[in-house]
Amino acid sequence: MRKTEAKTKVQKLTNAELPKFVEKLHKDIRESAKSIGRGEIQDTVRGYYQTQKHRKSLEEQYRAKLKEGKPCRINQYHFSQYKVLEDQQKKILEEYAKHKKMGRWAMANKGIGPIFATGLIAFIDMDIAKHPGHIYSFAGVVPGQKWEKGKPPPCCRAFKTLVSLIGHSFCFSSKKEGAYYGKVYADRMKQEVSKNDAGDFKSEAERALREKTYKKTTIAYKEYMKGKLPKAQLMARAQRYAAKLFISHWWHEAYKIHYNETPPMPWAIAHGNHTDFIPPPFTVEEVEAGLLESTA
């Protein structure tokens, strides 16, 4: 007869015990922030976004019922509990980011908070990322990179989402004073619009119509028929450009810390006769010297 393994007993916390447990957890995290493993912090980042997703869904349900005048106290209770958990996870990630040089450098940029800062540290392995292109590939932002059905994804989906959110954040911060990457996004957006108006993306519009069926009433279809890209796609292109520049700068500063030497110039500049190297807006050394303040 086959023996079944005994289930591991899970000790549940009472409502009275939970606040003290969370407080102790925060203290433990602060004390051990430097030694948390990459896998554990990756799980925490993923958990944060999962919690946030559930909280938003429950909050939408609550608002919908509130608008209809229906009973919604249970919905309110549930989304409030998720909000508490979300805030707790954010505090843990913030403590982690504050204990890392690259976390402090990242958060000194407007548009980058503790979640983004921690996510970058957690997902980017500098032993593998010998140049920014490795990170671009890992994030799925390399031109022509596709996910073929039935095959493993060519990138890390969680990290791809993180990079996409960073691009969105730069879009939202584009009008804030001192938002370096927000300005990069805004300037790039102007270029994309100008090229689109000039018909430079006609071949891409034609390919979109060939590869996918669109309803004729959609804005996308109408723009593609004109040989242009819809505004949403132009925004995505500009966001991706700003996010990739930020990642290249993150890599540049992380390389100095990880290898204790000056980062090599990009191949296009070192060997391709290009001269348009864009340096980071400030260095890790400047942040560590207190010359800058966190502006996320």
Distance from C-alpha of 85 to C-alpha of 92, rounded to nearest angstrom: 11
**How many Cβ atoms from other residues are within 10 Å of residue 14's Cβ?**
7
Q: Phi and psi at residue 180, in whole multiples of 5°? A: -55, -55
The reported pLDDT for the residue numbered 40 is: 85
- The residue behind tokens 């996004």 is 185
What's the chain's length in residues? 296
CA distances 43 to 123, 125, 161, 203, Å, are 10, 15, 14, 41
Report how many helices (DSSP H) and strands (DSSP E) the chain contains, helices first.
13, 0
Residues 111-122: pLDDT tens digits?
A: 999 999 999 999
CA distances 99 to 2, 191, 252, 295, Å, are 50, 38, 19, 17
Residues 149-202: pLDDT tens digits?
A: 777 777 888 899 999 999 999 999 999 999 999 999 999 999 999 999 999 999
- Whole-model pTM? 0.82
Percent of the chain beyond pLDDT 90?
49
Query: 258-269: b or e for each residue (b if 16 or more CB lie within 10 Å)?
Result: eeeeebeebeee
Distance from C-alpha of 26 to C-alpha of 47, rounded to nearest angstrom: 16
Residues 27-71: pLDDT tens digits?
A: 666 666 556 788 888 888 998 999 989 888 888 888 888 888 877
What secondary structure letter does DSSP report for 148?
-
| Tokens matching residue 256 | 């100095």
Q: What angle do CA 256, 261, 264 make, to 5 degrees?
A: 85
Q: What is the C-alpha end-to-end distance of the chain, expressed in Å?
A: 61
- Identify the burial level of 186 via C-beta atoms within 10 angstroms of its C-beta, where 0-12 means exposed, 13-18 middle and 19 or more buried: middle
The reported pLDDT for the residue numbered 169 is: 97
Residues 59-107: pLDDT tens digits?
A: 888 888 888 887 778 877 887 888 888 888 888 888 899 989 999 999 9
Amino acid in position 50: Q
Q: Does residue 165 contact residue 116 with C-beta atoms inside 8 Å?
A: yes
Show me where the domains of the chain are located: 14-99
